[in-house]
Amino acid sequence: MKWRRLNGQQIDLPIKDAVEKTIITESEKGHKLKVCIGTDSQVRSGVTEYATVIVFLREKKGGFMFISNFKQTKTISLKERMITEVAKSVEIAYMLCDLLDKYNVELEVHADINTDPSFKSNTALKEAMGYILGMGFVFKAKPDAFASSSCADKMV
């Protein structure tokens, strides 16, 4: 996966190294961090485009994010697409969890799934929640899942 910053600057380090470097730099500046990971997708002309974000929140000092995009041409159902979003977020969270524990950085995994049963994405809520919680991560869904429903949504 290729990662970049919001300004388009490519991240040349492996993502785990880039995150560690970021945590160290931010800690040296006196910032307490929380990391939120989320993925969103959109289907256009039969192609599903995904965006995964790693959002770094500085306590009372704003935040910034790293972004990765990928595309899939295989046609899948809405429920499968929601689970694919969650799987991508969990994959990144799992890769980073030891590092975040080492530096005592909170982690949340955000799912762009509505908790209101009248929305179609709700069909994947139980599976997504079970998957994320089963991996031992803190789970957030809409309306609290800003990493996926706001940040990643703008990057798709």
Task: Please write the tens of the pLDDT for every residue from 70-110.
Answer: 999 988 999 999 999 999 999 999 999 999 999 999 999 99
Mean pLDDT of the chain: 95
Three-state SS sequence of the chain? CCEEECCCCEECCCHHHHHHHHHHHHHHCCCCEEEEEEEEEEEECCEEEEEEEEEEEECCCCEEEEEEEEEECCCCCHHHHHHHHHHHHHHHHHHHHHHHHHCCCEEEEEEEEECCCCCHHHHHHHHHHHHHHHCCCEEEEECCCHHHHHHHHHHC
Identify the domain containing residue 7 by its residue range.
3-155
pLDDT of residue 36: 98
State both tokens at 82: 């929601």
pLDDT < 50 regions, the chain: none
Give how many domains the chain has, as a whole number: 1
Backbone angles phi, psi at 149, to 5 degrees: -80, -15
- The contacts of residue 67 (CB under 8 Å, 6+ apart) are 3, 4, 5, 6, 51, 52, 53, 152, 155
What CATH number should be reported for the domain holding residue 113? 3.30.420
The pTM is what?
0.94
| Cα angle: 72, vertex 15, 150; to 5 degrees | 60
